[in-house]
Amino acid sequence: DAGVTQSPTHLIKTRGQQVTLRCSPKSGHDTVSWYQQALGQGPQFIFQYYEEEERQRGNFPDRFSGHQFPNYSSELNVNALLLGDSALYLCASSLVRSSYNSPLHFGNGTRLTVT
């Protein structure tokens, strides 16, 4: 039973560049959420996708966008990278029908460094 997989594991980008991170949810899950975890901080909610649409969004600028594909996998795109975007980006999957009582299943994350 495959868990949540994310790629790449590490990424180094320059300010102003654009980046795409990828996530495959746990088998059987239909909902993907993205979180940003800065060093020494807790994960911060970016957005959540279900049925290929963004359903909820946290306090992140429009430079952060996403997509969900018919196979439930998802991408996170960040444009015009800033130094402050350096963080661990975590993908989490769940089942929408379990609603808000469902534990999130996380991937190992993508460590993004912006120089």
Contacts with another protein, residue ranges (CB under 8 A): 31, 33, 35, 40-45, 48, 50, 55-56, 58, 88, 90, 92, 94, 96, 99-109, 111
**41 or 77, CB closer to another protein?**
41
> Taking the complex as a whole, how short is the minimal distance between the CB of residue 16 and another protein, in angstroms?
27
Contacts of 24 (CB under 8 A, 6+ apart): 2, 4, 5, 6, 72, 73
Q: Which helix (DSSP H) or strand (DSSP E) does residue 80 occupy?
A: none
Rounded Cα distance between 4 and 51, Å, is 18
Shorter beta-carbon distance to another protein: residue 13 or 105: 105
24/94 with CB nearer another protein: 94
Q: Give min distance, CB of 104 to another protein, in A.
A: 6
Minimum CB separation from another protein for residue 47, in Å? Answer: 10
79: closest CA among 20, 7, 6?
A: 20
- Name the minimum Å distance from CB 103 to another protein: 4
For β-strands 64-68 and 10-13, DSSP reports them as unpaired
